[in-house]
Structure 1
Amino acid sequence: MKRHMTGKKKEYTIDRDCMIKKFRVGTDDFKKLCDEGGYFVDKTLFIKEIIDGNEVTLIPRPRRFGKTLNMTMMRYFFERSEESRAYLFDSCAIADYPEYMKHQGQYPVIFISLKDLKRDSYDHFIKATKAEIGRLYREFLPISESLPEAIRDRYLRICKEESPEHELYNSLKELISHCYHFYKKPVIVLIDEYDSPMIEAFSKGYYNEMTDFMRSWLGAGLKPEQGQVLYRAVITGILRIAKESIFSDLNNLDVASPLMIGPYADKFGFTEQEVSRILTAFEVEGHADIIRDWFDGYSFGGHIIYNPWSLISYIQAIPNPPSPKWLNTSSNALVYEELTSGGLLIKRDLELLLSGEELRYPLSENITFGDIGKNPVNIWSLLYYSGYLKADDPKFAEYDPNLLTYALSIPNREIFLAYRQFVNRLYETGTISAGIKDFISFFLENKTPSVLEQTLSDLILGLVSVYDVAKLPEAVFHAFVLGLLANLRNVYEIRSNVEAGYGRADILMIPKTGSYSIGYIIEFKSVKKEGDGVKAASDGLAQIREKEYMAALLHAGVPMEKIVKLAVTLQGKKVTVKKE
């Protein structure tokens, strides 16, 4: 269904889903998108949910998932303006709700984005904040004429960016109050990417000062006693920073976590139904499998969600093949820093993810930056909220019936490549980089066991401390090798702990179609006494034969003469490999 409508200055033709002519990659201003004929997936019922929702709402979602576009959409819906903006919504889903359309154009709206306030020091942050708040105050400059002289002087100091730091603490609270009394209407506050400068502060060493500022600024502006003058406040970001850090004064705060079923769950990113309509509109239905493989895999509040930025970029680039579009975002630096500084268990889990395995951990909805590296749960929570993990199948832990855990996995091929990028950087040192090449060539060229022994020994010493090596359990060593084998996924199907013959093989490597026709069976054996590595490896080969693990490779079409059996042991820093 289409409606033809005329605005004051130009005509607009907008279909039922606000899907107009073509994507405008990088455009996150709702009005500009519509005025320029951009293709817009209708998320206007987000406005209805905000009206029906809590006074103050925090919505954490990954970067590039449409947060800023939704925030500007709300601005143009609610904001008082000289020229009507109702035409932007006349053919959208919200137009079917007249009682909600009554709110259109009725409120003073304070819109502020913090994404550009990242600075290398706290002093520079304060300077940038003075400029941003000064700009905001200048938007409402006519208000100053109605203020008492002393308050007007402070207002104008902020406009001129001349106010001392302490006057900034109450700047949001005072602007809300001024707007309410001037317009005789409660105020809507929209704060986009609130955590962007906080992430930067953490990496640059002034996180505590930043926390104090944000607690004062947000706490004063949005606390419950502002209820008479504040209609709604919506805050977006990537993370929910722990309440005790900056939200301690906001008892009226509702957090719409992506883990929760309820409002807002399908309003960021594209649902399967929306993607289907997009593919039909652009006549690229034949690319559905590629798009699902590369950009699907997220689960927000029970909805299957696609990464919108990456999907749009791919469709715009057709017929070019897909490539990672989302990896060079500013949150990568923090993610990489935490992964590389993590301990042995983090490296083991990272390698399990790369091999296609799931992890099971609780996820913390409250993240305190100072504690991220102290607990693996915090690191996986950071990865989940940043868009690098999918969380499914919530279950209470067997060891703690009050602790909810999730099955964590890599959501799609694009994010798999991000992890590979992290691992490649982790392994970039000369010895490690050469070791990985030798590891790969051992399997592709079917080299002698001594090559694998030396390669694994070098890699372990390069990536794990000597102390950790001494206590490295078989399961962790298994996961370590499994992670390295992720480099061979283009030519091998890697299976771990899989039923084979009359038992369970540690690792099976089934060659994909192509020239690498050798299949591998790998068995890990623990060594109990010094000097028993050779015997344990021999026992491993015997186990492969006796349990007939070869049956799985034979069933996959690998002939017996192309099956190589490997038994691997680790004792201290010595690796032993037996092969037949």
Structure 2
Amino acid sequence: MKKLPIGISDFKKLREENYYFVDKSLFIKEIIDEDAEVILLPRPRRFGKTLNISMLRYFFEKNKQDNSNLFTGLKIEEQKEYLEHQGNYPLIMLTFKDIKENNWPRTYTKLKQVIAREYKRHKYLLESDVLDKYDKKQFQDIISLQAELPFYEDALRSLSEHLANYHKEKVMILIDEYDQPIQRGYLAGYYKQVMNFMRNLLSGGLKDNLHLKKGVLTGILRVAKESIFSGLNNLLVSTLLDKVYDSYFGLLEEEVEEIFNYYNLAYQVDQVKEWYNGYSFGEKIVYNPWSIVNCIYQEGEFRPYWANTSGNQLIRRLITEAGSEVKKDLELLLQGTDIQKEIDDNIVFSDLERKNTTIWSFLLLSGYLKASNQERDLGHLYCQLEIPNLEVEYIYRSIILDWFKENLNNEELEWMLKSLTEGDVETFSKIFKKIVKSSFSYFDLGRGNSENFYHAFVLGLVVNLRGEYQVKSNRESGYGRYDVMLIPSSKDKLGIIMEFKKVDQDESLERGVREALEQIADRDYRDILEELGINDILELGIAFCGKEVMVKSN
């Protein structure tokens, strides 16, 4: 029986050491047939990008070792006219997937090391007459990490020129996870420096390079063309929204069923779909390969494997720091309602915390949402968005729970929820006041961001009371009033209506609470619960002004 390829992304190792391989080799044919000179293929993490880049390398690279045996029995072997490209091109391959440093100096050192390793792989050039004395000096300085910054920025262009001159053949350039250093730079505060470096490096190798045969890049996002691919007119971008290449990243349903059968595991189609399916790539519905492989390794145990890999830090930051509108939409998503949003697949990182459009685009293209429907209007793309599966839902819920636990310990959180659902207003009031005070710096309640706190609190209720209560919320924009209704799953449990009222400095909390309770009565909220057969109902009026809070019940 073949070994499971957990974390194996080297194509040669996978093929030679008896690992299970899902044949995606016709990806090679698509790359050869592609008219564009440079192809960018953004896909979510752990969806097979590095393995595909590795497969391209072993197919195309011209070297002393014959790697044709690696493709024996694969679909590409049947495409005889494409085999003339096998082992025919000098090739540069860089991977930036492991660059995750917290400052620019360390990142720059890591970038130099990646480039130096690739130069060292081609050090046979130093023994040729293709390089003059000056070129050899710069080549050796790059390998020894002694070259100055401009020479590393020019490294792709320079190495491709030397390789083309030596082999008398144009060069293939493969770059894996090109945007990993950029994302890290955004999170750690050196975005400008890393963007400048990557822009110069990629432009040098891919723009107007007469020695380039074809360039293939993978990453998670399409960083806006004007930001990093400025002037690169030969670039084709195929995101997960496009039909092209939609079969080559992730696993198709028939491929998943075949894997389960091979390892003699009952293919529990409904559970597998519920946990790991739901990603829409072009016209295909695909499964997360990392999760499928780990699920099989654990003998079919369903749990959130993708959630436990690195890469969620930016998502956590965006959700935690997002405004009230984003949190309101997350409430809907977590309760199974889809939302329509405009999507822009050109990501400008500086817009992530300023434009909601960019946040939803980022979540979709990173695999944290799926587009169930797409339509264009006057050139603008609009998508119906939903959470793809239980595994991704787990990530959202974990992020929200973590926020709660930063402000309350586990025992306090349990007591707050218990006191609320059992009608112990005094205990609930004490703990709720603590949340408001500890969250003050998060949401700046004194400066008009009370909606942000309100929706964060409601998200917490949605997550923590899942299965026991349906949480419905509403707000009256501009009036500082927000209401929440907790509808119990069992009619013999307590139904809860909460009306939030933000009061100004010159108003009293007492008056705010009174108005909140009057609002509940005026809107006949009780009738909704009573029509559902729920007669035990708690009405809570909650007024707050900055850090000060008052809670009362009818």
Aligned to 1:186: 170
Check conservation: 1:389, 1:409, Cα contact below 8 A: yes
For the pair 1:364 / 2:336, whether they are aligned, the reply is no
User: Alpha-carbon deviation of 1:424?
Assistant: 1.8
After superposition, the CA RMSD in angstroms is 3.0
Aligned equivalents of 1:578 and 1:543: distance in 2?
A: 14
User: Alpha-carbon deviation of 1:106?
Assistant: 1.1
User: Alpha-carbon deviation of 1:188?
Assistant: 0.8
1:352-406 C-alpha deviation (Å, 9 max, x unpaired): 3333333322222122222211112222222222222222222457xxx553222
Aligned amino acid, residue 157 of structure 1: D
Aligned to 1:35: 16
For the pair 1:100 / 2:76, whether they are aligned, the reply is no
For the pair 1:299 / 2:280, whether they are aligned, the reply is yes
User: Alpha-carbon deviation of 1:315?
Assistant: 0.8
For the pair 1:215 / 2:199, whether they are aligned, the reply is yes
Secondary structure at 2:8 match in 1: coil
Aligned to 1:384: 364
Aligned to 1:410: 387
Aligned equivalents of 1:356 and 1:461: distance in 2?
A: 31
Aligned to 1:500: none
Change (3 A) 1:121 1:470: closer
Check conservation: 2:344, 2:381, Cα contact below 8 A: no
Aligned equivalents of 1:435 and 1:343: distance in 2?
A: 26
User: Alpha-carbon deviation of 1:526?
Assistant: 8.1
- Give the TM-score normalised by structure 2: 0.86
Aligned equivalents of 2:175 and 2:526: distance in 1?
A: 60
Aligned residues: 528
Secondary structure at 2:405 match in 1: coil
1:303-332 C-alpha deviation (Å, 9 max, x unpaired): 11111101110111115x322212244421
User: Quick one: percent identity of the two aligned structures?
Assistant: 35
Change (3 A) 1:89 1:407: same
Aligned equivalents of 1:127 and 1:472: distance in 2?
A: 44
Aligned amino acid, residue 216 of structure 1: N
Runs of at least 5 residues in structure 1 that lack an aligned partner in the other structure? 1-19, 498-504, 554-559
Aligned equivalents of 2:83 and 2:449: distance in 1?
A: 67
Change (3 A) 1:518 1:47: farther
Q: Of the candidates 466, 489, 492, which is equivalent to residue 518 of structure 1? A: 492
Aligned to 2:507: none
Runs of at least 5 residues in structure 2 that lack an aligned partner in the other structure? 475-482, 503-510
Check conservation: 1:523, 1:566, Cα contact below 8 A: yes
Q: Of the candidates 465, 474, 482, which is equivalent to residue 488 of structure 1? A: 465
Q: Of the candidates 110, 113, 135, which is equivalent to residue 151 of structure 1? A: 135
Check conservation: 2:92, 2:171, Cα contact below 8 A: yes
Aligned equivalents of 2:444 and 2:540: distance in 1?
A: 20
Check conservation: 1:495, 1:507, Cα contact below 8 A: yes
Aligned to 1:318: 299
Aligned equivalents of 1:461 and 1:33: distance in 2?
A: 54
1:25-45 C-alpha deviation (Å, 9 max, x unpaired): 111111111111111111111
Aligned to 1:425: 402
User: Alpha-carbon deviation of 1:496?
Assistant: 7.5
Aligned to 2:52: 70
What are the equivalent positions in structure 2 for 1:30-429 lying under 5 Å apart?
30-53=11-34, 54-144=36-126, 145-146=128-129, 147-223=131-207, 225-226=208-209, 228-260=210-242, 262-318=243-299, 321-395=301-375, 402-429=379-406
Check conservation: 1:508, 1:521, Cα contact below 8 A: yes
Aligned equivalents of 1:441 and 1:469: distance in 2?
A: 30
Aligned to 1:467: 446
Secondary structure at 2:537 match in 1: strand
Aligned equivalents of 1:282 and 1:73: distance in 2?
A: 24
Change (3 A) 1:494 1:174: same
1:160-202 C-alpha deviation (Å, 9 max, x unpaired): 3321122112111011111111111111111011111122222
Aligned equivalents of 1:507 and 1:532: distance in 2?
A: 17
User: Alpha-carbon deviation of 1:508?
Assistant: 6.1
Aligned to 2:478: none
Change (3 A) 1:216 1:195: same
Aligned to 1:4: none
Aligned equivalents of 1:479 and 1:142: distance in 2?
A: 59
Aligned equivalents of 1:517 and 1:89: distance in 2?
A: 62
Change (3 A) 1:532 1:119: closer
Check conservation: 1:452, 1:577, Cα contact below 8 A: no
Aligned equivalents of 1:469 and 1:154: distance in 2?
A: 58
Aligned to 1:509: 487
Aligned equivalents of 2:324 and 2:484: distance in 1?
A: 20
1:458-478 C-alpha deviation (Å, 9 max, x unpaired): 5456544323668649xx957
Check conservation: 1:469, 1:572, Cα contact below 8 A: no
Aligned amino acid, residue 65 of structure 2: E
Aligned equivalents of 2:152 and 2:434: distance in 1?
A: 55
Aligned amino acid, residue 444 of structure 2: S
User: Alpha-carbon deviation of 1:571?
Assistant: 4.8
Aligned to 1:565: 537
1:123-178 C-alpha deviation (Å, 9 max, x unpaired): 32332233222221121122232222222222222233321122112111011111
